[in-house]
Amino acid sequence: MLHRVLIVEDTASDARQSAAVMKKLGAEDVTALNNIASALLFLQDVMEGTKEAPDLILLDLSFPRESGFEVLRFWKSNPKLQPIHIVVWTVMGDTEKKLCEFFGVEHVVPKWAGPRELEAVLCTFFDEGRRDGAK
């Protein structure tokens, strides 16, 4: 079971929708951050041991003046963060999708697919924990 989730999303309605999906699936601790700088500081705190690592990061890639790929670079370059699952939920093209694959993103969900598709993908993580007897 995924207990802690970090949502990195600048659109308030998308952050609310995705947080509601996480809670519905059983997440107990959902943190939503609306900019990349805050997400990087959060992950730095995880590295330093002052914050608990999330089990999953739901990441938008498109931000004004920032890029979600900065979070992916930081995650990929720090072995301590590797156990964190990453799901990208964003508006993107084929180039961005290929870059996500390069970084090792487990799932890429286009926003146009809507919250039901997001829930279907996230359900696999929550169900996996139930089957494995995790947390």
Residue 129, pLDDT > 60, answer no
Range of the domain at 8: 4-132
Lowest-pLDDT range of 72-76, 91-95, 99-103? 91-95
Confidence of residue 42 (pLDDT cuts 50, 70, 90): very high
Residue 14, pLDDT > 70, answer yes
Does residue 40 sit in helix, strand or coil?
helix
Residue 78, pLDDT > 80, answer yes
Domain count, the chain: 1
Predicted local confidence at residue 1, as pLDDT: 62
Structure tokens at 59: 């990441």
Residue 79, pLDDT > 90, answer yes
Residue 94, pLDDT > 90, answer no
Q: Of 82, 81, 102, 99, give the one whose Cα is nearest residue 90.
A: 99
Q: Torsions phi, psi of 49, nearest 5?
A: 85, 10
For the domain that residue 22 is a member of, what is the CATH number? 3.40.50.2300
What is the rounded average pLDDT for all residues in the chain? 88
